Amino acid sequence: MSKVMAVFGAGTGLGVSVARAFGRDGHRVALVARSAGPLEERAAALRAEGIDATAFPADLADPDGVPALAGAIAARLGEIGVVHYGPAPTERFTAARELDPQRLRGYLDLYTHTLIALVHQVLPGMTGRRDGAILVTQGVTAVHPRPFLSGFGPAMAATRNWLAALHAEVAAEGVYVGTLNVAAMIAGSEGHRMFLADGAAAGIPTVDPEFLAGLWQRSYRERDRFEETYPALG
């Protein structure tokens, strides 16, 4: 039976490209994002390409909804064998001095708490089968903080810290945990369109999401590193 990949944050940029890449490799794909109509359109477009794709609308800022969501995917497609977690930012950066606890809690729910809740749902099955992967795409501010570019970076940094420990704990049990830090605008993504609209994208490199999906395919096959940053920073 085909493996099941769940793409959490299946937007118009990297999410769909990852789903396409792994779907072409034979995975059945669950697409998860908040807006039901656009999500079903993406699933239908992938099905037109011969990929077994199913839409599961859900709010990834709600960690409490994760057990029901994971259960619905498993009931429809089978146990999740590969996770890609990469919800796209829908807000602009903020200065560190302006970040308040309420806003940070929202970022932590989206980028950290929901992912941890999700791993609690899928990891026992992965270790039991001694096969699985948790792939997390984040922004480069998780690794390299910058003045006036705070906001979701601190939450992503917390996630990176936890993933590094998890990687070391479960690798011997057949589960690969990896992170990809993107130091560019992802072409076609919601974030890219937002920055273009307000003229804030000048001077920021742009990367093709299909290329990034290829990096994930390589990492999934080779499992030779926990972390990669693209483009590499000097």
- CATH of residue 56's domain is 3.40.50.720
Task: Return the bridge partners of 206, or none.
Answer: 185
**Is residue 31 one of the residues assigned to a domain?**
yes
Please tell me the pTM assigned to this model: 0.94
Percent of all residues in the chain with a pLDDT value above 70, rounded to a whole number: 94
Per-residue pLDDT at 202 exceeds 60: no
Whole-number pLDDT of residue 145: 94
48-81 pLDDT, tens digit each: 999 999 999 999 999 999 999 999 999 999 999 9
Whole-number pLDDT of residue 165: 98
**Is residue 204 one of the residues assigned to a domain?**
no
Contact partners, residue 176, CB within 8 Å, separation at least 6: 132, 133, 134, 167, 219, 220, 223
**Is residue 195 one of the residues assigned to a domain?**
no
Per-residue pLDDT at 42 exceeds 60: yes
If one counts the domains in the chain, the total is: 1
CA distance 5 to 38: 19
Whole-number pLDDT of residue 195: 62
**Is residue 203 one of the residues assigned to a domain?**
no
**Is residue 106 one of the residues assigned to a domain?**
yes
**Is residue 163 one of the residues assigned to a domain?**
yes
Whole-number pLDDT of residue 197: 58
Q: Name the residue range of residue 29's domain.
A: 4-183+211-230
**What is the overall mean pLDDT for the chain?**
93
Whole-number pLDDT of residue 188: 79
**Is residue 51 one of the residues assigned to a domain?**
yes
Q: How many CB atoms lie within 10 A of CB 48?
A: 9
Whole-number pLDDT of residue 91: 79
Between 96 and 203, residue with greater pLDDT = 96
Cα 111 from chain centroid? 9
**Is residue 205 one of the residues assigned to a domain?**
no
Per-residue pLDDT at 196 exceeds 80: no
136-148 pLDDT, tens digit each: 999 999 999 999 9
Q: How many CB atoms lie within 10 A of CB 50?
A: 9
